[in-house]
Structure 1
Amino acid sequence: MATLVRTSAGTWKAVIRRRGWPTTTKSFRTKRDAEDWSRRVEDEMVRGVYVQRTSSERTLFTQAMRQYLAEVTPTKRPSTQKSDHQKADTLIEFFGAYSLQAITPALVASYRDQRLASKVKPRYRQRSPVTKLVSPGTVRRELALLGHVFTVALKEWGIGLTANPVQSIRRPAPGDGRNRRLRPDEERQLMSALAKHSNPMLRWIVVLALETGMRSSEISSLRTDQVDINRRVVRLDVTKNGSARTVPLSRRAAQVLQEALDHPIRPKGCSLIFFGEPGQDGERRPYQFKKTWVDMKSRLGFADLRFHDLRHEAVSRMVEAGLSDQEVSAISGHRSMQMLKRYTHLRAEDLVPKLDAVGGEIS
């Protein structure tokens, strides 16, 4: 049985001592609340489902999120670390004042619905205000981080929680994926503008994206020891999905890489293919081209074209050229055929001649 003690402050303290369980105490304003709590806890102990909730009631989400960013996030890749911090700001804004115990599936579902109805914040300098809604994919990734915080709290930090509230809710359905293709006239304008740009590295980067389907981070971080011009391959040891792969180079891709290696602007001793100016520590880091890219495509009227769309374009062109799904996935690094399908968008007009060839002539 629980022991109820009246404190000097006028509150009631319930103390439960039961064999096989740690001593559990909690203070209440009224005796009836103390009795109700004691009965519930003792019943849970009898059924073997009792969880000490004191730590989860005292730990605010802000504290848990910051501990996660300090202990777990540093073990991830640099790009993922940056993404974690960005998502954490959004999560703290909504859940920050709640204790972990107070975050219920209903509250998480409310967050999901509010995020899906909210607007995307502008990035860089944009000429027109952004009116798009936050994508389902963005919300899914935020919920994945939220769920992992609770998983770590349960399994590693010993915080008393009965369940992970994120596991009980419905996740937003993934979208159909972007189907933005680069039109021939757009490519001509883009290449013309890139050829006139003062820094040739931007043109080399765009050509590599179109020829190989590599991600922007994979291209910008390329180093000389990863490139074999004679064999026409690039070895990628660090990728988004964690699987190393070797990317074959087309003649055009090999040509721009050779230009980059031979260009007189290349500083001696720099292993980066695409490098920026030295920092305060004297070290050169990858060329940060995103802002220049955004400004250029905006001037050309291609504001809706993202750099990642060049990866989609490259993959689609590989399929159109007759490469098998297995061959394309080996080059692009897609682990599943379903994800590869989301990246492949064939132009209907390009399929017309193939249909004619299959159907033959009408008699």
Structure 2
Amino acid sequence: MATITRTKSGTWKAMIRRQGWPTTIKTFRLKRDAQDWARETESAMVRGVYIPRAHGERLTLDRALDRYRLEVTPTKKASTASRETDLAVPLRTALGKYSLAAITPDIVAEYRDRRLAAVSKKTGRPMSASSVRLELALLGHLYAVAIKEWGLGLTLNPVQMIRRPSPGEGRNRRLTGDEEARLLAAVDAHSNPMLGWIVRLALYTGMRQGEILSLTADQVDLDRRVVRLTETKNGSARTVPLSRAAVDVLREALASPLRRGTSLVFPGDPRKDGTRRPYTINRVWRFALARAGIVGLRFHDLRHEAVSRLVERGLSDQEVAAISGHKSMQMLRRYTHLRAEDLVDKLG
């Protein structure tokens, strides 16, 4: 039976003690609300369908994100963990004070629409649909973990009940005209030859920026003309074949005195503690683009260019996927935009 008592502050506390269930307590402003809640809760207990929601009602999203960062984020790759810290910022700002039980699908849908209409502080442009999708993915996974593992009494993942922004068709930026020659001339003019080697390797192999920068000497086999990647974006190791041009780039990089004291193929300058971390490319990449007079080109577009060239050489989808590491043909085709003028000769 429920016990309803008045507190010193003038509110009404309902307490239910029932065999087989934990003691359940909730406070209300009105006695009638306390009585209604006690009656409904006891009925659910009798029917065996009661789910304790007190923890979910007390835990705010802000504190839930802290717990997620401590328990779940460390199981992910360092790059993903770093990105999630940034993704959590707008979620904390907009929804951090809500309890997990109070966040409903309509609240998440409103958040989605406000974010899509917002302007990015980094770029000054409207938020991309992909960025908002990543924020919603983080929120959705937090709820999935909370429901399955945290025992908060939550039964609904509000992110699953809303429409997510379309990811769009993806980028199809290719090098045009003399852009490749201008780009290579610009990176070669940089004081550190690492930049030129990295850009060429991206063009010749289609490897991702992170895969190139984290490359170590023991992963490179110049005799067999392959690079063995153990840490990749999708978690699957793969072996990348090397063209003769790529072999020449890696041979020159491995022989460089700039590598002294490290196994990294492309190390940055030594830190104060003497450690060598991967070369940092973002800032010098922007300078190189400005020097070359190239607009709208991202480093990842070099991977797009490389994969598209593999297709244009006549390699099958399976062969290209084995080199690039794409797990699905649908994702691969987003990178293989063929230029019509390159197909004219094949048509006859």
CA distance in structure 1 between the partners assigned to 2:29 and 2:121 by the alignment: 45
Q: Report the counterpart of residue 34 of structure 1 in structure 2.
A: 34
CA distance in structure 2 between the partners assigned to 1:259 and 1:226 by the alignment: 16
One of 265, 268, 271 as aligned partner of 1:273: 265
Question: Match for 2:340: what amino acid?
Answer: A
Offset at residue 235 of structure 1 (A): 0.3
**Of 104-113 and 12-21, the range deviating more from structure 2:** 12-21
1:303 aligns with 2:298: no
Q: Report the counterpart of residue 361 of structure 1 in structure 2.
A: none
TM (norm. structure 2) is 0.96
- Helix, strand or coil for the counterpart of 1:20? coil
Offset at residue 60 of structure 1 (A): 1.2
Q: Report the counterpart of residue 229 of structure 1 in structure 2.
A: 222
1:193 aligns with 2:186: yes
Segments of structure 2 that go 5 or more residues without pairing to the other structure are none
Question: Match for 1:244: what amino acid?
Answer: A
Aligned pairs for 1:168-317 (under 5 A) are 168-267=161-260, 269-317=261-309
Contact 1:104 1:165 in 2 (8 A): yes
Q: Report the counterpart of residue 111 of structure 2 in structure 1.
A: 111
Offset at residue 248 of structure 1 (A): 0.3
Q: Report the counterpart of residue 140 of structure 2 in structure 1.
A: 147
CA distance in structure 1 between the partners assigned to 2:188 and 2:291 by the alignment: 15
Offset at residue 39 of structure 1 (A): 2.4
Length, aligned pairs only:
348
Provide Cα deviations, 1:169-216, integer angstroms capped at 9, x if missing partner: 111122101010011410011111122211111011011101110000
Provide Cα deviations, 1:270-324, integer angstroms capped at 9, x if missing partner: 1000011111221100000111001221333323100000000001000000000
CA distance in structure 1 between the partners assigned to 2:47 and 2:320 by the alignment: 55
**Of 213-222 and 298-307, the range deviating more from structure 2:** 298-307
Segments of structure 1 that go 5 or more residues without pairing to the other structure are 124-129, 357-363
Offset at residue 160 of structure 1 (A): 2.1
Q: Report the counterpart of residue 342 of structure 1 in structure 2.
A: 334
Contact 1:3 1:14 in 2 (8 A): yes
CA distance in structure 2 between the partners assigned to 1:180 and 1:8 by the alignment: 68
Q: Report the counterpart of residue 17 of structure 1 in structure 2.
A: 17
Offset at residue 229 of structure 1 (A): 0.6
Offset at residue 265 of structure 1 (A): 3.1
Give the share of equivalent positions with the same residue, in percent.
Answer: 63
- Helix, strand or coil for the counterpart of 2:82? helix
1:333 aligns with 2:325: yes
Q: Report the counterpart of residue 127 of structure 1 in structure 2.
A: none
- Helix, strand or coil for the counterpart of 2:57? helix
1:92 aligns with 2:92: yes
Question: Match for 2:208: what amino acid?
Answer: R
Offset at residue 7 of structure 1 (A): 2.9
- Helix, strand or coil for the counterpart of 1:335? coil
Change in Cα spacing, 1:248 to 1:15, as seen in structure 2 (3 Å) is: same
Contact 1:294 1:303 in 2 (8 A): no
CA distance in structure 1 between the partners assigned to 2:62 and 2:93 by the alignment: 9
Offset at residue 49 of structure 1 (A): 2.8
- Helix, strand or coil for the counterpart of 1:247? strand
- Helix, strand or coil for the counterpart of 1:271? coil
CA distance in structure 2 between the partners assigned to 1:244 and 1:171 by the alignment: 31
Contact 1:6 1:13 in 2 (8 A): yes
Offset at residue 219 of structure 1 (A): 0.2
Offset at residue 54 of structure 1 (A): 1.3
**Of 316-325 and 300-309, the range deviating more from structure 2:** 300-309
Provide Cα deviations, 1:150-171, integer angstroms capped at 9, x if missing partner: 1222222221212111111111
Question: Match for 1:151: what amino acid?
Answer: A
Q: Report the counterpart of residue 4 of structure 1 in structure 2.
A: 4
- Runs of 4+ with deviation above 3 angstroms: none
Offset at residue 72 of structure 1 (A): 1.1
TM (norm. structure 1) is 0.92
1:351 aligns with 2:343: yes
Contact 2:129 2:166 in 1 (8 A): yes
CA distance in structure 1 between the partners assigned to 2:341 and 2:275 by the alignment: 49
Question: Match for 1:229: what amino acid?
Answer: L
- Helix, strand or coil for the counterpart of 1:273? coil
Q: Report the counterpart of residue 134 of structure 1 in structure 2.
A: 127
